């Protein structure tokens, strides 16, 4: 700031000189022929560039595209708010787009300094009135804001080649960090409008509170998933180097209530991504599926929940495979072009369409996307759909065990240290399959009197676990009995079938021998 003050002082003296020159210039210029005037103007600006060692770059709010705010301006605004606003004396506060977060930026006509690689750079925020001619054409035009970047001319290369790209990158990162994330759902195609590209998805603010800290699961498994996500997010260059699209597929499988949806929310919060919840049953055919995909943006997770229930993908493929006589090889599973004729392709989403969705367009549409399928029945899915490379990581979400329970006890009851009832709960959780959703349900009984008393809740959980254990034992015994009955029925049916078969054989034998005897007798009677 001291340097800035000195500079301002030095230039204040020069200011009066310049003002006098400008006054004189305005007096005489009307008496000078236009060609000479142009020459003098060029000469004056050359002279001033010799005297003034400082250069300036203007970043306007609206670039060539009149109605769209310039990317660089928005990035600079975000960068200055984040990195320099605290040093400014006049700030401007606004509510963000989500009407919740407060955005503080440098006010108009305010100057801030920034340090970069040992160099001081001055930023000056200002605005200019639109020209009268523009107002006539576009009434209601606002003032145009702009930033002026001032620096010493010996730092020109540094500022242009390094500093401004740095501001752009940092500003974009700040914008992403501060943006309101969104949860998209696909609209029924009947409401799609040819005039509005955005009509295929509608969105609401994504505000799910789940995080990996609140997720109940094995700590090692959790760590491995976090590592994987971090590696993915940081691997832009790597994906480009190996020539692969920057995308990753996850398959989350496990019984209901084990936290598959919660895991997706935790992933989105961890990565700072939007979520596209794709309801496949509302998609009429592969063409619509493609359109939906094209309308998604980067830094997003595309989710198809309960993929086994969404469309009959397995049956479809089996039919095709049988028809083409293919063996069960992965490469043969890849959609072929032209695709195998499937009678009702136009009215259905098919496996080929879905594989194209993952492999084909996927690769062509830029990067940083994660696709997640969830299912309660992994075994029902077609192997082609979930093979590595498409679904890179298969994550099993399983019943609640003791480590997971400790997370839930902390979340719901604030019980961090070992509780005297933990021993029994540990034993029961090893012996009983209870989903985290059911465990959580038992930890939050909302009674008015004893609100979340840990002892009461834990005892309630123990009772629920005991009951679940008994129910499981009864169910198992019944299952075994049913299996035995089925076995006995099968054995009886087999016995009966065998008896029937042997009876039929005997009857055929008797009939044959009777016929043979009859023929012999006939032969005996016949004259020689």
Q: Which of 81, 105, 186, 258 binds ligand ATP (CB under 6 A)?
A: 258
Q: Which of 72, 83, 106, 215 binds ligand ATP (CB under 6 A)?
A: 215
- When the beta carbons of 261 and 296 are compared against ligand ATP, the nearer one is 261
| Two tokens, residue 234 | 């940081």
Under rule CB under 6 A, which residues in 430-469 are in contact with ligand ATP? 436-437, 440
413 and 455 Cβ atoms separated by less than 8 Å: no
95 and 101 Cβ atoms separated by less than 8 Å: yes
To ligand ATP, the closest distance from the beta carbon of 260 in angstroms equals 4
Which region, judged by CB under 6 A, interacts with ligand ATP, from 85-93, 122-130, 250-258, 466-474? 250-258
Under rule CB under 6 A, which residues in 307-346 are in contact with ligand ATP? none
The DSSP secondary structure of 449-502, one letter per residue, reads SSTT-HHHHHHHHHHHHHHHHHHHHHHHHHHHHHHHHHHHHHHHHHHHHHHHHH
Instruction: Say how many Å lie between the first and final Cα of the chain, rounded.
Output: 142
- The reply on whether position 261 binds ligand ATP by CB under 6 A is yes
Minimal CA–CA distance to 116: which of 170, 53, 54, 49? Answer: 170
Look at the block and give the residue holding tokens 């020069």.
Answer: 14
Which region, judged by CB under 6 A, interacts with ligand ATP, from 1-9, 211-219, 220-228, 511-519? 211-219
Q: How far apart are CA 188 and CA 303, in angstroms?
A: 17
- When the beta carbons of 125 and 425 are compared against ligand ATP, the nearer one is 425
- The reply on whether position 259 binds ligand ATP by CB under 6 A is yes
Q: 277 forms bridges with which residues in the sheet? A: 185, 303
To ligand ATP, the closest distance from the beta carbon of 216 in angstroms equals 4
Mask for 374-393, x = binds ligand ATP (CB under 6 A):
--x-----------------
Q: Which of 80, 174, 216, 443 binds ligand ATP (CB under 6 A)?
A: 216
Angle between helices 71-83 and 164-178 (to 10 degrees): 80
- When the beta carbons of 232 and 412 are compared against ligand ATP, the nearer one is 412
Residues recorded for the chain: 528
The single-letter DSSP state of residue 255 is S
- The reply on whether position 300 binds ligand ATP by CB under 6 A is no
Which region, judged by CB under 6 A, interacts with ligand ATP, from 13-21, 81-89, 210-218, 457-465? 210-218
- When the beta carbons of 106 and 428 are compared against ligand ATP, the nearer one is 428
Minimal CA–CA distance to 122: which of 159, 148, 92? Answer: 148
- The reply on whether position 180 binds ligand ATP by CB under 6 A is no
Q: How far apart are CA 313 and CA 354, in angstroms?
A: 9
| Two tokens, residue 368 | 């940083």
Which region, judged by CB under 6 A, interacts with ligand ATP, from 118-126, 155-163, 257-265, 326-334? 257-265
214 and 357 Cβ atoms separated by less than 8 Å: no
- Interface with ligand ATP by CB under 6 A: which residues? 215-217, 256-262, 376, 397, 436-437, 440
């Amino acid at each position: 700031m001291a340097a800035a003050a000195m500079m301002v002082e030095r230039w204040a003296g020069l200011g009066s000189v310049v003002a006098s020159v400008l006054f004189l210039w305005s007096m005489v210029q009307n008496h000078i022929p236009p060609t000479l005037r142009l020459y003098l103007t060029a000469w004056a600006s050359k002279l001033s560039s010799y005297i003034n060692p400082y250069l300036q770059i203007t970043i306007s709010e609206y670039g060539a595209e009149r109605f769209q705010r310039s990317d660089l301006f928005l990035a600079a605004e975000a960068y200055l708010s984040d990195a320099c606003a605290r040093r400014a004396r006049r700030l401007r506060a606004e509510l963000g787009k989500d009407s919740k977060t407060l955005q503080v930026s440098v006010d108009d006509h305010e100057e801030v300094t920034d340090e970069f690689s040992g160099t001081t750079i001055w930023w000056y925020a200002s605005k200019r009135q639109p020209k009268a001619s523009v107002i006539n054409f576009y009434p209601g035009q606002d003032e145009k804001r702009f930033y002026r970047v001032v620096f010493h001319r010996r730092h020109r290369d540094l500022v242009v080649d390094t500093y401004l790209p740095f501001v752009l990158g940092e500003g974009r990162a700040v914008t992403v960090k501060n943006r309101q994330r969104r949860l998209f759902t696909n609209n029924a195609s009947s409401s799609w409008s040819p005039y509005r590209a955005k009509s295929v998805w509608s969105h609401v603010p994504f505000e799910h509170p789940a995080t990996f800290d609140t997720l109940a699961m094995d700590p090692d498994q959790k760590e491995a998933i976090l590592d994987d996500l971090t590696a993915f997010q940081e691997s832009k260059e790597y994906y480009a180097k190996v020539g692969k699209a920057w995308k990753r597929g996850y398959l989350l499988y496990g019984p209901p209530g084990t936290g598959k949806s919660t895991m997706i929310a935790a992933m989105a919060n961890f990565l700072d991504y939007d979520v596209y919840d794709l309801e496949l049953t509302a998609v009429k055919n592969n063409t619509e599926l493609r359109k939906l995909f094209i309308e998604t943006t980067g830094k997003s997770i595309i989710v198809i929940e309960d993929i086994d229930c969404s469309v009959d993908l397995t049956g479809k493929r089996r039919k095709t495979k049988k028809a083409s006589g293919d063996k069960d090889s992965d490469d043969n599973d890849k959609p072929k072009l032209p695709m195998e004729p499937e009678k009702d392709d136009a009215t259905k989403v098919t496996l080929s369409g879905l594989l194209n969705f993952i492999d084909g367009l996927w690769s062509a549409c830029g990067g940083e996307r994660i696709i997640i399928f969830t299912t309660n029945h992994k075994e029902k899915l077609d192997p082609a759909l979930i093979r590595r490379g498409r679904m890179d990581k298969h994550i099993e979400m399983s019943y609640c065990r003791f480590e997971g329970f400790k997370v839930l006890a902390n979340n719901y009851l604030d019980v961090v240290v070992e509780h005297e009832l933990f021993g029994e709960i540990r034993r029961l959780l090893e012996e009983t399959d209870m989903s985290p959703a059911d465990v959580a349900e038992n930890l939050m009984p909302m009674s008015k009197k004893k609100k979340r008393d840990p002892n009461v809740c834990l005892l309630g959980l123990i009772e629920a676990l005991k009951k679940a254990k008994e129910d499981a034992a009864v169910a198992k015994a019944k299952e075994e009995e049913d299996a035995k009955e089925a076995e006995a029925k099968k054995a009886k049916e087999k016995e009966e079938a065998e008896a029937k078969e042997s009876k039929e054989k005997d009857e055929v034998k008797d009939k044959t021998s009777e016929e043979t005897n009859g023929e012999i007798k006939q032969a005996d009677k016949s004259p020689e």
